[in-house]
Amino acid sequence: MSSHISNVRPETDQVITDIVDYIIDYRITSEAAFQTAHYCLLDTLGCGFEALTYPACTKMLGPIVSGTTVPYGAKVPGTSYQLDPVQAAFNIGTMIRWLDFNDTWLAAEWGHPSDNLGGILATADWLSRTAVANGKDPLTMKDVLDAMIRAHEIQGVMALENSFNRVGLDHVLLVKLASVATVGKLMGLSRDELINAVSHAFVDGHALRTYRHAPNTGSRKSWAAGDATSRAVRLALIAKTGEMGYPSVLTAKNWGFYDVLFKGQPFRFQREYGAYVMENVLFKISFPAEFHAQTAVEAAMTLYRKLTDLGRTADDIQHIRIRTHEAAIRIIDKKGPLHNPADRDHCIQYMVAVPLLYGRLTAADYEDNIAADPRIDRLREKMETQEDDQFTKDYHDPEKRSIANALTVTLSDGTVLAEEIVEYPIGHKRRRAEGMPVLIEKYKTNLARIFSFKQQKQILDASLDRETLSRMPVNEFVDLMVTP
């Protein structure tokens, strides 16, 4: 006796309609969110400009077919490329994520919500250039800031209670999801078209996390977000043609996302969508280090100065205890050889050793010439990591959201230096007043890597004041950042 499967078209999954309703209906009024989005935009672009000084990054950029230029296409800041919005999104998304040096969101799932800027800026620029060519008004940079807040919110709220890494999926799945919703809104998709687009983001193939973990850690983690945000633009364009969606993509028995990829469990939510994530996002200001190690690096820098004051060096260290939280143990606690920069910037021992030896940690310190220093690995071998239950609890506490690390150094003569504890990195919301002036200086430094003094001034005049920037057409702002 056969059992027939119902072919009645189901209602759209509530998770999808909640995202689309937020995108269409929610009005963002939070001054703190817009102010933070402004800082996020500057820092994200600046990190992309620094990445353009690395050939490993620039080899990934440009059109798919060499020499291709798209009339009214999106321009890639810091380059001369003008591309279709899908490939432009890949370019922008890749350069801003390459050095892992801008914003971060830590929860059950971690990630970098600014990765969505690749799709947002490419789409907004392309739409603006096309509008101007047809005698219509372009989008403004306030539209970009608004879209950034929404993308941060979708990615971050989804991440609060849902751990994709525990089922082996990479967090760029959430970049694709947040990007498809926000760029779909910019494109003017109807509610039904947005629902279809979001459903496709869940149907789509999803990246495994293996390229972020031993023994396979590699440079794909530097372009995975560019791939995800560009795929989102492609899916939004497909939905815009009227292509059908899949209403029960999450809940369908046997074939839905939950049963196939999420161990049969539905998504859980801590809060409704608003502007919470942008208001509370974390910035990497001082160190290009995986965020779970930011406070460890800060502590190591303090210990370097203490050793110097004592007339000692890292060569005098016998043992280092790293007291940390569970997420750091799971992601960046590594023993054994490190094979490439991507491996090193996800190793807490490496990120502690370099500042103890050199009194710094820069993007260049992950390259082979620095990693060849045998003292780094000798120092790594002297480290032990321990999970602190309270650190783990405070990491998940929505009122604290700390990322604590504590270092205790024992010298070869038996002297034990006082434990150095840092609970909140300089990029944390609790340290905004201290951190934002440093972030602006970082932005200026990164502009100087690529642009002439005259061009730097033009960009700064247009971008440092949020009200001035917000009124500016997207295409005119991007034009300021084009190079010959």
Nearest to 108 by CA among 162, 156, 170: 162
Q: How confident is the model at residue 291 (pLDDT cuts 50, 70, 90)?
A: confident
**pLDDT confidence of residue 5:** 67
Nearest to 119 by CA among 235, 237, 233, 239: 233
Euclidean distance between CA atoms 211 and 376, whole angstroms: 23
Tens digit of each residue's pLDDT (9 = 90 or more) over 90-126: 999 999 999 988 899 988 998 999 999 999 999 999 9
pTM confidence score: 0.88
Euclidean distance between CA atoms 277 and 283, whole angstroms: 12
Tens digit of each residue's pLDDT (9 = 90 or more) over 249-276: 999 999 999 999 999 999 999 999 999 9
**pLDDT confidence of residue 3:** 56
Euclidean distance between CA atoms 406 and 227, whole angstroms: 36
Euclidean distance between CA atoms 88 and 221, whole angstroms: 18
Tens digit of each residue's pLDDT (9 = 90 or more) over 27-64: 999 999 999 999 999 999 999 999 999 999 999 999 99
DSSP structure class, residue 12: P
Tens digit of each residue's pLDDT (9 = 90 or more) over 373-409: 999 999 999 999 999 999 999 998 888 889 999 999 9
According to DSSP, the β-strands at 317-324 and 405-411 are antiparallel
Q: Mean pLDDT for the chain?
A: 95
**pLDDT confidence of residue 4:** 61
Whose tokens are 């995202």? That residue is: 19
What is the separation of C-alpha 211 from the centre of its chain, rounded to a whole number of angstroms?
A: 16
- Integer CA distances (angstroms), 89 to 71, 119, 221, in order: 16, 5, 16
Tens digit of each residue's pLDDT (9 = 90 or more) over 170-216: 999 999 999 999 999 999 999 999 999 999 999 999 999 999 988 89
DSSP, residue by residue, 442-474 = HHHHHHHHHS-HHHHHHHHHHHSSHHHHHHSBH
**pLDDT confidence of residue 1:** 45
**Looking at the chain, how many residues does it have?**
484
